[in-house]
Amino acid sequence: MYQVSDNDTPDTGATLAVVGVDRNLGKDLTLYAAYGITSNDDAALYSISGGGRGTTAPAIAGENNSGLSLGIIYSF
C-alpha cells in the first residue's frame, strides 16, 4: 500500500508505504507480517500506528516513524 496525504497548509503532508505478506501453513494456520513507514513533512504529525489493540505510537512533528507487525491466525 502507498498513500500520500497533502493539503493546502505548507509542510503538513506525509507519505505512507506498507508491505505485507501472509503465509498459509495449513488449512487452519496463517502467519503474517507487515512493515510500514511514514515520512512526515516538517510540520506533519502522522503516525504509523492506527491504535489497534490499545497501542499508540505518538508522532513528533517532522519525524518519520516505522512499525513492524507479526502475527499468527489460527481458525478453529
pLDDT (tens digit, 9 = 90+) per residue, 27-64?
999 999 999 898 888 888 888 776 566 666 777 888 88
Torsion over CA: 28, 67, 36, 49 (sign): positive
25 has a pLDDT exceeding 90: yes
**Burial class (CB within 10 angstroms; exposed 0-12, middle 13-18, buried 19+) of 11:** exposed
pTM of the full predicted structure? 0.74
